[in-house]
Protein backbone atom coordinates (compact mmCIF):
# COMPACT_ATOMS: atom_id res chain seq x y z
CA UNK A 1 0.00 0.00 0.00
CA UNK A 2 1.36 3.44 -0.83
CA UNK A 3 1.59 5.79 2.11
CA UNK A 4 -0.68 8.81 2.17
CA UNK A 5 1.36 12.02 2.29
CA UNK A 6 0.05 14.57 4.78
CA UNK A 7 0.65 18.15 5.88
CA UNK A 8 -0.69 19.74 9.07
CA UNK A 9 -1.41 23.46 9.27
CA UNK A 10 -1.50 24.36 12.97
CA UNK A 11 0.44 21.27 14.02
CA UNK A 12 1.10 22.44 17.59
CA UNK A 13 -2.52 23.03 18.65
CA UNK A 14 -5.11 20.72 20.11
CA UNK A 15 -6.35 19.31 16.77
CA UNK A 16 -2.82 19.40 15.29
CA UNK A 17 -1.29 17.29 18.09
CA UNK A 18 -4.20 14.84 18.01
CA UNK A 19 -3.57 14.45 14.27
CA UNK A 20 0.15 13.85 14.89
CA UNK A 21 -0.70 11.30 17.56
CA UNK A 22 -2.70 9.25 15.04
CA UNK A 23 -0.12 9.60 12.27
CA UNK A 24 2.72 8.54 14.55
CA UNK A 25 0.82 5.40 15.54
CA UNK A 26 0.61 4.41 11.86
CA UNK A 27 4.00 5.12 10.24
CA UNK A 28 3.18 2.44 7.66
CA UNK A 29 0.19 4.44 6.40
CA UNK A 30 1.35 8.07 6.48
CA UNK A 31 4.35 10.19 5.61
CA UNK A 32 4.58 13.81 6.74
CA UNK A 33 5.44 16.49 4.19
CA UNK A 34 4.98 19.80 6.05
CA UNK A 35 4.06 21.13 9.49
CA UNK A 36 3.24 24.72 10.49
CA UNK A 37 2.75 26.69 13.71
CA UNK A 38 2.30 30.27 14.86
CA UNK A 39 4.95 30.61 17.59
CA UNK A 40 5.53 27.31 19.39
CA UNK A 41 8.93 26.70 17.80
CA UNK A 42 10.07 23.98 20.23
CA UNK A 43 7.00 21.84 19.70
CA UNK A 44 7.07 22.41 15.92
CA UNK A 45 10.73 21.40 15.60
CA UNK A 46 10.23 18.41 17.85
CA UNK A 47 7.27 17.16 15.77
CA UNK A 48 9.16 17.77 12.52
CA UNK A 49 12.10 15.69 13.78
CA UNK A 50 9.92 12.86 15.08
CA UNK A 51 7.97 12.58 11.81
CA UNK A 52 10.83 13.30 9.37
CA UNK A 53 8.85 16.19 7.89
CA UNK A 54 10.47 17.90 4.90
CA UNK A 55 9.25 21.44 5.68
CA UNK A 56 8.50 23.29 8.94
CA UNK A 57 6.95 26.76 8.74
CA UNK A 58 6.75 29.20 11.64
CA UNK A 59 4.39 32.17 11.28
CA UNK A 60 6.39 34.49 13.56
CA UNK A 61 9.42 35.37 11.44
CA UNK A 62 11.48 36.44 14.45
CA UNK A 63 11.54 32.78 15.42
CA UNK A 64 13.01 31.50 12.14
CA UNK A 65 16.65 31.48 13.40
CA UNK A 66 15.63 29.42 16.42
CA UNK A 67 13.68 27.00 14.21
CA UNK A 68 16.73 26.63 11.94
CA UNK A 69 18.92 25.93 14.91
CA UNK A 70 16.54 23.34 16.32
CA UNK A 71 16.34 21.57 12.94
CA UNK A 72 20.07 21.68 12.23
CA UNK A 73 21.36 18.31 11.04
CA UNK A 74 17.90 17.08 10.01
CA UNK A 75 16.50 16.90 6.44
CA UNK A 76 13.76 19.34 7.37
CA UNK A 77 13.84 22.84 5.86
CA UNK A 78 12.83 25.73 8.16
CA UNK A 79 10.83 28.59 6.65
CA UNK A 80 8.54 31.53 7.40
CA UNK A 81 6.28 33.89 5.44
CA UNK A 82 3.18 33.70 3.28
CA UNK A 83 4.78 31.82 0.42
CA UNK A 84 6.14 29.13 2.71
CA UNK A 85 2.68 28.79 4.34
CA UNK A 86 1.14 28.30 0.89
CA UNK A 87 3.83 25.81 0.01
CA UNK A 88 3.04 23.85 3.18
CA UNK A 89 -0.66 23.89 2.24
CA UNK A 90 -0.49 23.26 -1.49
CA UNK A 91 2.85 21.61 -2.23
CA UNK A 92 3.34 17.88 -2.13
CA UNK A 93 0.86 16.39 0.32
CA UNK A 94 -2.28 14.55 -0.84
CA UNK A 95 -4.07 15.25 2.45
CA UNK A 96 -3.94 18.56 4.35
CA UNK A 97 -5.20 19.12 7.89
CA UNK A 98 -6.45 22.71 8.27
CA UNK A 99 -6.15 23.20 12.04
CA UNK A 100 -5.12 26.85 12.36
CA UNK A 101 -7.48 28.74 14.66
CA UNK A 102 -9.36 31.76 13.30
CA UNK A 103 -9.58 33.63 10.03
CA UNK A 104 -5.74 33.47 9.90
CA UNK A 105 -6.27 29.98 8.46
CA UNK A 106 -8.22 31.18 5.44
CA UNK A 107 -5.43 31.84 2.93
CA UNK A 108 -3.54 28.57 3.57
CA UNK A 109 -6.84 26.63 3.35
CA UNK A 110 -7.60 28.32 0.03
CA UNK A 111 -4.13 27.42 -1.26
CA UNK A 112 -4.79 23.75 -0.45
CA UNK A 113 -8.25 23.85 -2.05
CA UNK A 114 -7.02 25.55 -5.22
CA UNK A 115 -4.33 22.88 -5.52
CA UNK A 116 -7.03 20.20 -5.46
CA UNK A 117 -5.90 18.56 -2.21
CA UNK A 118 -8.05 16.50 0.14
CA UNK A 119 -8.61 19.04 2.90
CA UNK A 120 -9.52 17.85 6.40
CA UNK A 121 -11.16 21.00 7.68
CA UNK A 122 -11.10 21.84 11.39
CA UNK A 123 -10.68 25.59 10.83
CA UNK A 124 -14.38 26.48 10.92
CA UNK A 125 -13.71 30.24 10.84
CA UNK A 126 -12.56 29.96 7.22
CA UNK A 127 -15.90 28.44 6.16
CA UNK A 128 -17.86 30.96 8.23
CA UNK A 129 -16.16 33.89 6.52
CA UNK A 130 -15.65 32.54 2.99
CA UNK A 131 -17.83 29.43 2.72
CA UNK A 132 -19.28 30.12 -0.73
CA UNK A 133 -15.89 31.05 -2.22
CA UNK A 134 -14.31 27.94 -0.70
CA UNK A 135 -16.93 25.49 -1.91
CA UNK A 136 -16.90 27.05 -5.41
CA UNK A 137 -13.09 26.79 -5.52
CA UNK A 138 -13.30 23.14 -4.40
CA UNK A 139 -15.83 22.37 -7.13
CA UNK A 140 -13.47 23.90 -9.71
CA UNK A 141 -10.26 22.21 -8.54
CA UNK A 142 -11.77 18.88 -7.51
CA UNK A 143 -10.55 19.32 -3.92
CA UNK A 144 -12.41 17.22 -1.38
CA UNK A 145 -13.39 19.01 1.85
CA UNK A 146 -13.76 16.52 4.71
CA UNK A 147 -15.25 18.00 7.89
CA UNK A 148 -13.26 17.42 11.08
CA UNK A 149 -15.54 19.33 13.45
CA UNK A 150 -17.22 16.45 15.32
CA UNK A 151 -20.79 17.55 14.49
CA UNK A 152 -20.10 18.01 10.79
CA UNK A 153 -18.08 14.84 10.62
CA UNK A 154 -21.06 13.03 12.19
CA UNK A 155 -23.43 14.50 9.58
CA UNK A 156 -21.00 13.63 6.79
CA UNK A 157 -21.00 10.02 8.01
CA UNK A 158 -24.83 9.93 8.31
CA UNK A 159 -25.22 11.28 4.77
CA UNK A 160 -23.00 8.63 3.18
CA UNK A 161 -24.98 6.51 0.74
CA UNK A 162 -28.00 8.82 0.80
CA UNK A 163 -29.22 11.38 -1.71
CA UNK A 164 -29.01 14.95 -0.46
CA UNK A 165 -32.49 15.55 -1.93
CA UNK A 166 -33.84 13.05 0.64
CA UNK A 167 -32.59 15.06 3.63
CA UNK A 168 -35.33 16.81 5.63
CA UNK A 169 -33.08 18.53 8.17
CA UNK A 170 -29.83 18.42 10.07
CA UNK A 171 -29.71 18.37 13.87
CA UNK A 172 -26.53 19.82 15.33
CA UNK A 173 -26.03 18.66 18.89
CA UNK A 174 -24.40 20.94 21.47
CA UNK A 175 -23.05 20.06 24.91
CA UNK A 176 -24.24 23.45 26.20
CA UNK A 177 -20.71 24.21 27.40
CA UNK A 178 -19.49 24.89 30.94
CA UNK A 179 -22.22 27.48 31.66
CA UNK A 180 -25.20 25.43 30.45
CA UNK A 181 -27.05 25.79 33.76
CA UNK A 182 -25.77 29.26 34.76
CA UNK A 183 -27.95 32.38 34.94
CA UNK A 184 -26.96 35.57 33.08
CA UNK A 185 -25.99 37.11 36.44
CA UNK A 186 -23.72 34.18 37.23
CA UNK A 187 -22.21 34.29 33.74
CA UNK A 188 -21.36 37.99 34.16
CA UNK A 189 -18.79 37.08 36.82
CA UNK A 190 -17.17 34.14 34.99
CA UNK A 191 -13.38 34.18 34.52
CA UNK A 192 -11.33 32.89 31.57
CA UNK A 193 -10.32 29.87 33.68
CA UNK A 194 -13.96 28.96 34.26
CA UNK A 195 -14.86 29.55 30.61
CA UNK A 196 -12.14 27.29 29.20
CA UNK A 197 -12.96 24.40 31.55
CA UNK A 198 -15.18 22.44 29.13
CA UNK A 199 -17.08 19.54 30.75
CA UNK A 200 -16.53 17.02 27.89
CA UNK A 201 -13.87 18.15 25.40
CA UNK A 202 -10.26 19.26 25.76
CA UNK A 203 -9.66 22.02 23.16
CA UNK A 204 -7.76 25.24 22.41
CA UNK A 205 -8.64 28.38 24.41
CA UNK A 206 -10.56 30.21 21.66
CA UNK A 207 -12.98 27.40 20.82
CA UNK A 208 -13.42 26.67 24.54
CA UNK A 209 -14.63 30.24 25.15
CA UNK A 210 -16.84 29.92 22.05
CA UNK A 211 -18.39 26.83 23.63
CA UNK A 212 -19.11 28.77 26.82
CA UNK A 213 -20.94 31.57 24.94
CA UNK A 214 -22.38 28.95 22.53
CA UNK A 215 -21.01 31.08 19.69
CA UNK A 216 -19.28 27.84 18.73
CA UNK A 217 -22.67 26.32 17.86
CA UNK A 218 -23.55 29.51 15.98
CA UNK A 219 -20.34 29.25 13.92
CA UNK A 220 -21.11 25.55 13.37
CA UNK A 221 -24.58 26.41 12.07
CA UNK A 222 -22.98 28.61 9.38
CA UNK A 223 -20.33 25.94 8.77
CA UNK A 224 -23.07 23.29 8.26
CA UNK A 225 -24.91 25.53 5.81
CA UNK A 226 -21.80 25.81 3.60
CA UNK A 227 -20.74 22.17 3.89
CA UNK A 228 -24.14 20.59 3.27
CA UNK A 229 -25.98 23.27 1.30
CA UNK A 230 -29.09 23.48 3.50
CA UNK A 231 -30.79 26.75 4.47
CA UNK A 232 -30.83 28.03 8.05
CA UNK A 233 -34.41 26.87 8.73
CA UNK A 234 -33.46 23.26 8.00
CA UNK A 235 -30.60 23.15 10.52
CA UNK A 236 -31.71 22.67 14.14
CA UNK A 237 -29.67 22.95 17.31
CA UNK A 238 -30.29 20.51 20.16
CA UNK A 239 -28.56 20.56 23.55
CA UNK A 240 -27.25 17.13 24.54
CA UNK A 241 -25.01 17.48 27.62
CA UNK A 242 -23.29 14.06 27.39
CA UNK A 243 -21.71 14.71 23.93
CA UNK A 244 -22.26 11.11 22.86
CA UNK A 245 -24.46 11.76 19.83
CA UNK A 246 -22.32 14.07 17.71
CA UNK A 247 -25.14 15.13 15.37
CA UNK A 248 -28.04 13.69 13.36
CA UNK A 249 -29.72 13.77 9.98
CA UNK A 250 -33.48 13.48 9.56
CA UNK A 251 -34.64 12.14 6.17
CA UNK A 252 -37.94 12.80 4.37
CA UNK A 253 -39.36 9.41 5.46
CA UNK A 254 -38.94 10.32 9.15
CA UNK A 255 -35.81 8.19 9.69
CA UNK A 256 -33.16 9.82 11.83
CA UNK A 257 -29.52 8.70 11.59
CA UNK A 258 -27.02 9.65 14.29
CA UNK A 259 -23.30 9.13 14.77
CA UNK A 260 -22.13 8.27 18.30
CA UNK A 261 -18.75 7.99 19.96
CA UNK A 262 -16.79 9.08 23.00
CA UNK A 263 -15.84 12.77 22.96
CA UNK A 264 -12.35 12.36 21.53
CA UNK A 265 -11.36 14.39 18.46
CA UNK A 266 -9.13 11.54 17.30
CA UNK A 267 -12.28 9.75 16.09
CA UNK A 268 -13.41 12.38 13.54
CA UNK A 269 -9.77 13.15 12.65
CA UNK A 270 -9.13 9.44 11.98
CA UNK A 271 -12.26 9.31 9.85
CA UNK A 272 -10.84 12.01 7.57
CA UNK A 273 -7.27 10.60 7.66
CA UNK A 274 -8.30 7.14 6.48
CA UNK A 275 -11.28 8.21 4.33
CA UNK A 276 -12.79 6.48 2.41
CA UNK A 277 -11.40 3.64 4.53
CA UNK A 278 -11.31 3.41 8.35
CA UNK A 279 -8.40 3.17 10.76
CA UNK A 280 -7.86 2.05 14.30
CA UNK A 281 -7.71 4.70 17.08
CA UNK A 282 -6.88 4.55 20.80
CA UNK A 283 -10.08 6.47 21.62
CA UNK A 284 -12.11 5.06 24.48
CA UNK A 285 -14.89 2.75 23.27
CA UNK A 286 -18.42 3.87 23.98
CA UNK A 287 -19.95 2.05 26.96
CA UNK A 288 -23.63 2.95 26.74
CA UNK A 289 -24.59 0.73 29.68
CA UNK A 290 -22.18 2.73 31.88
CA UNK A 291 -23.42 6.07 30.48
CA UNK A 292 -26.98 4.78 31.07
CA UNK A 293 -28.90 7.84 29.89
CA UNK A 294 -28.66 10.37 27.11
CA UNK A 295 -30.60 13.59 27.66
CA UNK A 296 -31.71 16.44 25.41
CA UNK A 297 -32.88 20.03 25.92
CA UNK A 298 -34.00 22.84 23.66
CA UNK A 299 -31.36 25.61 23.52
CA UNK A 300 -32.04 28.70 25.64
CA UNK A 301 -31.80 31.67 23.26
CA UNK A 302 -32.23 34.22 26.07
CA UNK A 303 -29.24 33.07 28.11
CA UNK A 304 -27.22 32.30 24.96
CA UNK A 305 -27.92 35.19 22.54
CA UNK A 306 -24.95 34.13 20.35
CA UNK A 307 -27.20 31.47 18.79
CA UNK A 308 -29.69 34.04 17.47
CA UNK A 309 -26.91 36.42 16.45
CA UNK A 310 -25.23 33.74 14.35
CA UNK A 311 -28.48 32.53 12.79
CA UNK A 312 -29.39 36.03 11.75
CA UNK A 313 -25.86 36.64 10.36
CA UNK A 314 -26.24 33.46 8.28
CA UNK A 315 -29.62 34.62 6.98
CA UNK A 316 -28.26 38.10 6.13
CA UNK A 317 -25.17 36.58 4.50
CA UNK A 318 -22.42 38.57 2.76
CA UNK A 319 -20.40 40.68 5.17
CA UNK A 320 -22.48 39.77 8.27
CA UNK A 321 -20.87 36.38 9.05
CA UNK A 322 -17.43 37.87 8.38
CA UNK A 323 -18.10 40.70 10.86
CA UNK A 324 -19.56 38.21 13.35
CA UNK A 325 -16.43 36.06 13.20
CA UNK A 326 -13.95 38.96 13.28
CA UNK A 327 -15.63 40.68 16.24
CA UNK A 328 -15.89 37.37 18.06
CA UNK A 329 -12.17 36.62 17.59
CA UNK A 330 -11.23 40.07 18.90
CA UNK A 331 -13.68 39.95 21.81
CA UNK A 332 -12.68 36.42 22.87
CA UNK A 333 -9.04 37.45 22.83
CA UNK A 334 -9.85 40.54 24.96
CA UNK A 335 -11.85 38.37 27.39
CA UNK A 336 -8.94 35.92 27.71
CA UNK A 337 -6.70 38.91 28.54
CA UNK A 338 -9.27 40.10 31.13
CA UNK A 339 -9.94 43.34 29.24
CA UNK A 340 -13.70 42.70 28.92
CA UNK A 341 -16.27 40.61 30.80
CA UNK A 342 -17.82 37.36 29.61
CA UNK A 343 -21.19 38.87 28.65
CA UNK A 344 -19.47 41.68 26.72
CA UNK A 345 -18.26 39.19 24.09
CA UNK A 346 -21.59 38.75 22.33
CA UNK A 347 -22.49 42.43 22.94
CA UNK A 348 -19.40 43.47 20.95
CA UNK A 349 -20.28 41.02 18.18
CA UNK A 350 -23.84 42.35 17.88
CA UNK A 351 -22.72 45.99 17.82
CA UNK A 352 -19.98 45.29 15.25
CA UNK A 353 -22.46 43.58 12.92
CA UNK A 354 -24.86 46.51 13.34
CA UNK A 355 -22.08 48.89 12.23
CA UNK A 356 -21.06 46.76 9.25
CA UNK A 357 -22.09 47.87 5.78
CA UNK A 358 -23.97 45.15 3.94
CA UNK A 359 -22.02 43.77 1.01
CA UNK A 360 -21.09 40.59 -0.77
CA UNK A 361 -17.42 39.57 -0.96
CA UNK A 362 -16.45 38.61 -4.51
CA UNK A 363 -12.99 37.35 -3.63
CA UNK A 364 -10.83 36.23 -0.72
CA UNK A 365 -9.23 39.70 -0.82
CA UNK A 366 -12.70 41.20 -0.18
CA UNK A 367 -13.22 38.82 2.75
CA UNK A 368 -9.88 39.86 4.23
CA UNK A 369 -10.77 43.56 3.85
CA UNK A 370 -14.17 43.13 5.53
CA UNK A 371 -12.52 41.08 8.27
CA UNK A 372 -9.90 43.77 8.89
CA UNK A 373 -12.48 46.58 9.06
CA UNK A 374 -14.71 44.61 11.43
CA UNK A 375 -11.74 43.91 13.72
CA UNK A 376 -10.98 47.64 13.83
CA UNK A 377 -14.62 48.43 14.71
CA UNK A 378 -14.70 45.78 17.45
CA UNK A 379 -11.41 47.09 18.87
CA UNK A 380 -12.81 50.66 18.89
CA UNK A 381 -15.95 49.54 20.66
CA UNK A 382 -13.88 47.87 23.36
CA UNK A 383 -11.71 50.99 23.69
CA UNK A 384 -14.84 53.11 24.18
CA UNK A 385 -16.13 50.65 26.79
CA UNK A 386 -12.87 50.87 28.73
CA UNK A 387 -12.84 54.71 28.66
P1 LIG B 1 -5.29 25.71 19.18
O2 LIG B 1 -5.29 27.09 19.67
O3 LIG B 1 -5.05 24.60 20.15
O4 LIG B 1 -4.22 25.56 17.98
C5 LIG B 1 -4.17 26.44 16.93
C6 LIG B 1 -3.01 26.15 15.99
O7 LIG B 1 -2.97 27.18 14.99
C8 LIG B 1 -1.64 26.15 16.65
O9 LIG B 1 -0.82 25.19 16.02
C10 LIG B 1 -1.11 27.56 16.38
O11 LIG B 1 0.29 27.60 16.37
C12 LIG B 1 -1.70 27.84 15.01
N13 LIG B 1 -1.97 29.27 14.79
C14 LIG B 1 -2.66 30.11 15.60
N15 LIG B 1 -2.71 31.35 15.08
C16 LIG B 1 -2.05 31.30 13.91
C17 LIG B 1 -1.72 32.27 12.91
N18 LIG B 1 -2.09 33.54 13.04
N19 LIG B 1 -1.02 31.86 11.82
C20 LIG B 1 -0.63 30.58 11.68
N21 LIG B 1 -0.88 29.62 12.61
C22 LIG B 1 -1.58 29.98 13.70
O23 LIG B 1 -6.70 25.49 18.44
P24 LIG B 1 -7.53 24.14 18.27
O25 LIG B 1 -8.40 23.95 19.43
O26 LIG B 1 -6.63 23.05 17.83
O27 LIG B 1 -8.50 24.55 17.06
C28 LIG B 1 -8.03 24.67 15.73
C29 LIG B 1 -9.24 24.83 14.82
O30 LIG B 1 -10.02 23.64 14.88
C31 LIG B 1 -10.17 25.98 15.21
O32 LIG B 1 -10.71 26.56 14.08
C33 LIG B 1 -11.27 25.26 15.99
O34 LIG B 1 -12.51 25.93 15.94
C35 LIG B 1 -11.35 23.93 15.27
N36 LIG B 1 -11.86 22.84 16.09
C37 LIG B 1 -11.17 22.45 17.20
C38 LIG B 1 -11.65 21.40 17.99
C39 LIG B 1 -10.89 20.94 19.20
O40 LIG B 1 -11.26 19.95 19.80
N41 LIG B 1 -9.83 21.60 19.63
C42 LIG B 1 -12.84 20.78 17.65
C43 LIG B 1 -13.52 21.20 16.51
C44 LIG B 1 -13.01 22.22 15.74
MG1 LIG C 1 -17.80 21.04 17.06
Query: pTM of this prediction?
Result: 0.98
Residue 181 parent element (H or E): none
pLDDT of residue 92: 87
Using CA atoms, how far apart are residues 224 and 84, in angstroms rounded to an integer?
30
- C-alpha 15 – ligand 1 centre gap (Å): 7
Ligand 1: nearest atom to the Cα of 125 = 32
Pocket mutation for ligand 1, best pick of 89, 203, 263 (most atoms within 8 Å of C-beta): 203
Tell which atom from ligand 1 comes closest to the C-alpha of 40: 11
- Ligand nearest to the CA of residue 105, numbered in listed order: 1
Which atom from ligand 1 is nearest to the alpha carbon of 203?
Answer: 41
Alpha carbon distance 108, 380 (integer Å) = 28
Q: Which of 240, 236, 273, 200 is nearest to 29 (CA)?
A: 273
Low-confidence spans in the chain with pLDDT less than 70 = 1
Which of 10, 21, 124, 192 for mutating ligand 1's site (highest number of atoms within 8 Å of CB)? Answer: 10
**Three-state DSSP class for residue 205:** helix
Q: Where in the chain is the domain with CATH 3.40.50.720?
A: 4-147
Q: Which amino acids bring their CB within 6 angstroms of ligand 1?
A: 10-16, 37-38, 40, 59, 99-101, 104, 122-125, 149, 201, 203-204, 206-207, 265
CA-based max dimension of the chain: 63
Query: What is the CA(95)–ligand 1 centre distance, in A?
Result: 18
DSSP-assigned states of every residue in 157-170: HHHTTS-GGGEEEE
Ligand nearest to the CA of 173: 2
Please tell me the CATH code under which domain 317-387 is placed. 1.10.1740.10
Report how far residue 97's alpha carbon sits from residue 227's, in angstroms, rounded to the nearest whole number. 16
pLDDT in tens, 144-191: 999 999 999 999 999 999 999 999 999 999 999 999 999 999 999 999
Instruction: For residues 80 and 100, give the distance between their C-alpha atoms in angstroms, rounded to a whole number.
Output: 15
DSSP output for 312-378:
HHHHH-THHHHHHHHHHHHHHHHHHTTSS-TTHHHHHHHHHHHTSPP----SHHHHHHHHHHHHHHH
CA of 237 to the centre of ligand 2 (A): 12
Q: Which pLDDT score is estimated for 1?
A: 62
pLDDT in tens, 307-351: 999 999 999 999 999 999 999 999 999 999 999 999 999 999 999
Nearest CA to ligand 1 atom 23: 204
15, 45, 84, best to mutate for ligand 1 pocket (most atoms within 8 Å of CB): 15
Å from CA of 220 to ligand 2 middle? 7
CB distance 349 to 374 below 8 Å: no
Q: Which ligand is nearest to the CA of 39?
A: 1
Q: Which atom of ligand 1 is nearest to the CA of 123?
A: 32
Q: Strand, coil or helix: what is 283?
A: coil
| Helix residue ranges per DSSP H, the chain | 14-25, 41-51, 64-71, 82-90, 106-114, 124-141, 150-159, 184-188, 192-196, 205-213, 215-228, 266-274, 288-291, 306-316, 319-336, 344-354, 364-386
What is the C-alpha to C-alpha distance for residues 137 and 153, in angstroms, rounded to an integer?
Answer: 21
Residue to mutate (ligand 1; options 59, 207, 368; most atoms within 8 A of CB): 207
* Nearest CA, atom 42, ligand 1: 149
Query: Of 84, 85, 90, 86, which Cα lies nearest the Cα of 141?
Result: 90
pLDDT at 387: 84
Kindly report the protein residue whose alpha carbon is nearest to atom 30 of ligand 1: 122
Q: Is the peptide bond before 254 cis (omega within 30 degrees of 0)?
A: no
**Does 4-147 carry CATH code 3.30.230.10?**
no
**Interhelix angle 319-336/344-354, nearest 10 degrees:** 150
Domain with CATH 1.10.1740.10 in the chain: 317-387
Distance 251 CA to ligand 1 centre (A): 33
Amino acid sequence: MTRRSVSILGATGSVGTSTLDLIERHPDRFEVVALTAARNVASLADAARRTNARLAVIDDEALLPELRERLAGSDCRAATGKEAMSEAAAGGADWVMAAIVGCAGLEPVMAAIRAGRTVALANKESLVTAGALMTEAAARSGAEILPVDSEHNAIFQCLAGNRSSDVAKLVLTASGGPFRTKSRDEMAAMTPEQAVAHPNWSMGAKISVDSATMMNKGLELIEAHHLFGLPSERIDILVHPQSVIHSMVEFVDGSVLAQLGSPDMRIPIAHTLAWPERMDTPAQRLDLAAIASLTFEAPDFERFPALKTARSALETGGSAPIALNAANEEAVSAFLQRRIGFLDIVGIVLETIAQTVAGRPRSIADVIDIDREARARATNLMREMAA
